[in-house]
Amino acid sequence: MSVFSVCIQWGEQMREQGKREQALDLFELARDKSATRSDRALAWAHIGLTYWLLRQGCRSKTQQVEYAKLAEQAFEVSLALARESRNRARTVEVMRHIARMRLDMGYVNEALRIGLDAMGHAAEMQRRDLVWFTHLVAMAQIRRHLVGELPRSVPVQWVKREIKDYLETGVLDQNEVAKRAWRNGILRSHQELYGALALLFLLKNYLQARLRLMRHKAMPAAR
């Protein structure tokens, strides 16, 4: 495994553990060790996401603004590199990061537009991390429901789809850190939508999705 790959892998683990400063150092080292535009795009995307998460955990308003600016700049560099290299995978990944940033900033409709675009590409590419994209769209639809723009039935279908995408493709991924993050995302979307009843509805939706998947697998193949 290359130094670049090791830095990315360890950086993801550090960030998942809440050690964001250490993660940032590793992602910056990965950027410096990258050999291609695609690799640099990936490193810059991780740098941007880590800056954004550092912003959320910072109490200083001045520092929050600085972290937000650094995150946005990193995402812009990542997107430019991804497009230059014509790497569709890197492009949709950074699009998803940008959508998440816009959602956190309160620009829900813009986040939804970018998120749906990225999710569509991810589905066409049959990415195993499709649930990661679905989660962003689910959260945007939940926010729209909470301000009265959508009936509850719409985000309900999206949180159910989130579970479906995880069970159908996400569980096949070898990245345990990523899978843990996806499961946490599913829990967060249920908490946002159902509040105190989140665990109850999560169990209900999970069991229903698993039952449908088992029935589908048990169906005889069409001749």
Task: Determine contact, residues 111/81, Cβ cutoff 8 Å.
Answer: no
Residue 45 has pLDDT above 70, yes or no: yes
Query: How high is the pLDDT of residue 92?
Result: 96
**Cα 181 versus chain centre, distance:** 8
Query: How high is the pLDDT of residue 221?
Result: 56
Residue 10 has pLDDT above 50, yes or no: yes
Q: What is the mean pLDDT of residues 96-109?
A: 96
Q: What is the mean pLDDT of residues 25-41?
A: 96
Query: How high is the pLDDT of residue 84?
Result: 95
Residue 172 exposed, middle or buried by CB count within 10 Å (0-12, 13-18, 19+): exposed
Query: How high is the pLDDT of residue 59?
Result: 85
Query: How high is the pLDDT of residue 223?
Result: 45
**Sorting pLDDT into bands at 50, 70 and 90, what band is 40?**
very high
Fold for domain 1-86? 1.25.40
DSSP codes, 157-171? HHHHHHHHHHHHTGG
Q: How far apart are alpha carbons 54 and 46 in whole angstroms?
A: 12
Q: How far apart are alpha carbons 179 and 62 in whole angstroms?
A: 34
Q: Where are the domains of the chain?
A: 1-86, 88-223
Residue 222 has pLDDT above 70, yes or no: no
Other Cβ atoms less than 10 A from the Cβ of 152: the count is 12
Q: Specify the pTM.
A: 0.88
Query: How high is the pLDDT of residue 216?
Result: 76
- Write phi, then psi, for 91 (nearest 5 degrees): -65, -50
Query: How high is the pLDDT of residue 220?
Result: 64
Q: How far apart are the first and last CA of the chain?
A: 44
Average pLDDT, the chain: 93
Task: Determine contact, residues 80/45, Cβ cutoff 8 Å.
Answer: no
Query: How high is the pLDDT of residue 96?
Result: 96
